[in-house]
Amino acid sequence: MRRIKPLAGHKGLRLAMLMLAAPAIISCASMLPTNAGQMEWRLSPSAEASYNYLVYLDAARAGKAQQADGALSKVLELDKRQEVYLELADLKWRLGKTEDAAVLLQDGLVRYPGDKWLTLRLADIYRLQQRYDGAATTLETYLAAHPSDAEALSRQARLALERERFAQARDILAKLPADRHSPEVLYLRAKAEVGLAQNRKAIATLRKALEKDPTYLPAVVELAYILELENDFAEAERVYVRLLELGEASTEVWIKLIDLNLKLNNPEKALSLAQSGPQSKAFLLETAHLFLGQKFYDEASEVLTPLAQQEPMDADVRFYLALLEYEGRKNSEAALYQLTQIPQDSPHHQRSLSFRAQILISQKRSEQALVVLQEARELYPAEPEFAEVQAWALATSNRNAEAEQVLVQALTRWPDNADILYRLGLIQEEQGRSSEALLSMERVITIAPDKADALNFIGYVLAEQGRDLQRALTLIRKAMELDPDNGYILDSLAWVLFKLGEYNKSMLEIRKAVSMEKNDSAIWEHFGDIARALNKRKEARKGYSNALKLGSKHTERVQKKLEGL
């Protein structure tokens, strides 16, 4: 939740009341006889207000929120000053009574029409309630009478930014003269410039803000973020270090610094930062996740080892150790062991079953995987993922009909699940039902337009069939944008370029593909076809020979191509 900027007047009110409370109670009270031996004390309205304000302060200090609300509400009944309206509105906002706060401020404005702080606070509350039209009208009414008020203009610009009206925010801030360009105003202008895709301008604006106040944290954070967007990782890293120096030692800043150093290929410094950071379990696991994601397995091990030595070992730690064993150390058995130790009450249990099944499938132990998946489907019947993985396990056991039945049944429950539809398309293609497979994949990209594998599938099939090649190229290029390090998509790109007769461009892409997927016979056959079209016989021979060595499914066809060179 965004904090509401404290308003002037509160401190003075509290001090004045505290100073006046005791004498007021004594001097303003009167003693009226009621009957013999008994006296009744009556407080004047001023003394009663002071008394209730003291009750409010005591209740607030003791954390008795509702009692504080009641006491301060009584103060307002007796003392209608603007400061009391503001303080009670603040309290109600903190208690989550936002509508009560808004009504209270509206009442205050009836008594004090045009009051600056009541108006700005009401606009703040409307904005935080996402009642943007109400906030806009409130600010516009005030600015009509006070067109150069810096606080009101800043709030109006902030409102425009939240509504993604970036040009409007920039124009509002331009109304302020240069001598009113505070760090906050410059920060807001930079936010507008980012929204208008003017990142370099925003960087310059933020640097101006920090010249005025080097400790203005919002500007430092925004500058680091934009530098990272601009892939200026070295400068972004320096700015995040500055945040630490300013005392902003949140976990997020440490994580950002580690991530940036990994992007700068500086794992040693990243590890040093990880070992200097907060050392909470959550922080260390997030750090390990970063190292694993960037394939710095030794560093991930360094981070996880202290956690793994704690007894009993935490289930979260076991899950990350399983990732390390499988991806980093290529030790499937060790990974499976860690996964089997994760108890059913762990948040990672569901994922551990999926991970176990996928490891077993990759080891061609599909029958064992099916046992795990049966357990998973019984424990987590509402999770569609397990139906999709179960179909995959069946398909790898050459039980395509059963796999298709599982998927068709799953689609009756989850008709718009893109992963299930994608798996169905793969099985249909495997069975030689290309037209049905293509229809399934078209449904996938209707539901999930950014599913790179489905885009690639359609593009490749169209290229293979030699039809609608421009659409095929568009789909594959989109897949490439979504997954630029995928060798199979690069192969598809090379193949559609080949079909379009752009042999030189095709050769550039197929070289990248074989460098990434060295053990795929189909990609090497494509390499041979493209090289042959360019009359590069030596390279064509290399492509076909590698395809045969890697066990091509089309041995006779590839052998004929090789002999025909």
Closest CA to 203 of 224, 176, 180, 233: 224
Distance of alpha carbon 383 from alpha carbon 390, whole angstroms: 12
Given CA atoms 138, 139, 144, 149 in this order, what sign does their dihedral have? positive
Q: Which residues contact 168 (CB under 8 A, 6 or more apart)?
A: 160
Given CA atoms 304, 305, 310, 315 in this order, what sign does their dihedral have? positive
Angle made by CA atoms 365, 366, 368, in degrees to the nearest 5: 75
Distance of alpha carbon 220 from alpha carbon 216, whole angstroms: 7
Distance of alpha carbon 420 from alpha carbon 136, whole angstroms: 46
Given CA atoms 82, 86, 88, 89 in this order, what sign does their dihedral have? positive
12-57: pLDDT as tens digits: 344 344 334 434 433 344 433 444 444 455 668 888 888 888 988 9
Distance of alpha carbon 492 from alpha carbon 471, whole angstroms: 13
Distance of alpha carbon 52 from alpha carbon 67, whole angstroms: 10
Closest CA to 523 of 487, 555, 553, 564: 487
Which pLDDT score is estimated for 358?
96
How far is the first Cα of the chain from the last one, in angstroms, to the nearest whole number? Answer: 70
Which pLDDT score is estimated for 179?
86
DSSP code of residue 208: H
Which domains are delineated in the chain?
310-383 (1.25.40)
Q: Which residues in the chain come in under a pLDDT of 50?
A: 1-39
Beta bridge partners of 42: 30
- Contact present, 342 and 352 (Cβ < 8 Å): yes
Beta bridge partners of 32: 40
- Contact present, 176 and 150 (Cβ < 8 Å): yes
Q: Which residues contact 312 (CB under 8 A, 6 or more apart)?
A: none
Q: Taking the CB of residue 122, how many other CB atoms lie within 10 A of it? A: 25
Angle made by CA atoms 228, 232, 237, in degrees to the nearest 5: 70
For 114, phi then psi, to 5°, come to 80, 5
On average, the pLDDT of the chain sits at 89
- Assign 540 to helix, strand or coil: helix
Alpha carbon separation from 307 to 311, 321, 383 (Å, rounded) = 9, 10, 30
Distance of alpha carbon 522 from alpha carbon 502, whole angstroms: 20
Closest CA to 528 of 547, 513, 515, 504: 547
Q: Name the residue with tokens 């410059």.
A: 186
418-447: pLDDT as tens digits: 999 999 999 999 999 999 999 999 999 999
- Assign 251 to helix, strand or coil: helix
Distance of alpha carbon 81 from alpha carbon 88, whole angstroms: 11
Residues in the chain: 565
Closest CA to 153 of 134, 176, 132: 176
Which pLDDT score is estimated for 35?
44
